Amino acid sequence: MRWLLRAVDLFVFYCRDTARLRVIYGLPAEKIRYVPFKVNDYQEILTTPTSDAGYVLSCGRSYRDYVTLCKALEGLPYSARILVTPDELAGNGSELDLRSVPANITVVTDDGSSRSWREWIAHAKLVVLPISPDVLAPAGISTYLVAMALGKCVIISDSPATRGILKDGEQAVVVPPADPALLRAAVVKASEDADHRARIAQAGREYALSLRDEDRLADDIVHEVTRAIGRERRQPGRLASLPES
């Protein structure tokens, strides 16, 4: 993989924390650019009605640590939902043993459609995204941006999706990964303290909406590619011979 990646002139990442990626894959820091991700279904989200139906929601396909979530929520007086698309769990680094799910958690089998996700998130009290430790990718970033844009307080594990992007206690509540005690405390705080929950939700919504849609994302990527091409034209390299068009 390192040999193949040597031919790449520009790496665009949706996360700022690329230290382990650089070490593992031998990526030169000067070839890496950070571009913020966007809110999926941005226009639909702007018109989606929201409410507080009282449940804690956890959802997502990639690298979810549902074992830690179950330990954290067990015995709490809150109703919780885990939204899953069963066929996609194992293939995306997530595991969920239905035999170990506490009584206050309901596992909801979902078709994975954007509309269904929006509806479930739109009516949650808060959204909890437990991310697996040592993950390299910014797992959870698209989910938390949708949840924030819908005005939900988000609790998420510290990971590449948060480092250098979200500040704990501002746009979201960021907790150490694989720590059920601290995750439990964060859920209790957000559930019991309405002012705290609302403050986090409002700041998160403002941040998410500022990232807008795929047009803004495309513009940022084009900008970075244009910069890379201009840089290579000024230096001997593979891109120097590209035509002006």
SS (H, E, C) the chain: CHHHHCCCCCEEECCCCCHHHHHHHCCCHHHEEECCCCCCCHHHHHCCCCCCCCCEEEECCCCEEHHHHHHHHCCCCCCEEEEECHHHHHHHCCECCHHHCCCCEEEEECCCCHHHHHHHHHCCCEEEECECCCCCCCCCHHHHHHHHHCCCEEEEECCCCCCCCCCECCCEEEECCCCHHHHHHHHHHHHHCHHHHHHHHHHHHHHHHHHCCHHHHHHHHHHHHHHHHHHHHCCCCHHHHCCCC
Task: Indicate if the pLDDT at residue 245 is higher than 60.
Answer: no
Where does the pLDDT of residue 156 fall: very low under 50, low under 70, confident under 90, or very high at 90 and above? very high
Where does the pLDDT of residue 90 fall: very low under 50, low under 70, confident under 90, or very high at 90 and above? low
Task: Indicate if the pLDDT at residue 13 is higher than 60.
Answer: yes
Residues 21 and 85 in one domain: no
Residues 55 and 175 in one domain: yes
Task: Indicate if the pLDDT at residue 94 is higher than 50.
Answer: yes
pLDDT in tens, 159-204: 999 999 999 999 999 999 999 999 999 999 999 999 999 999 999 9
Segment 114-118 shows an average pLDDT of: 92
Residues 159 and 204 in one domain: yes
**What is the domain extent for residue 227?**
2-35+213-241
pLDDT for residue 240: 42
pLDDT for residue 243: 36
Task: Indicate if the pLDDT at residue 87 is higher than 90.
Answer: no
Please check whether residue 225 is in contact with residue 10, taking contact to mean a CB–CB distance below 8 angstroms: yes
Task: Indicate if the pLDDT at residue 60 is higher than 50.
Answer: yes
Where does the pLDDT of residue 115 fall: very low under 50, low under 70, confident under 90, or very high at 90 and above? very high
Q: CB-hemisphere CA count at 13 Å for 67?
A: 10
Residues 186 and 221 in one domain: no
Segment 205-228 shows an average pLDDT of: 96
CA dist 239 and 27 (Å) reads 18
Residues 9 and 95 in one domain: no
CA dist 29 and 82 (Å) reads 38
Domain count, the chain: 2
Residues 154 and 47 in one domain: yes
**pTM tops 0.85, yes or no:** yes
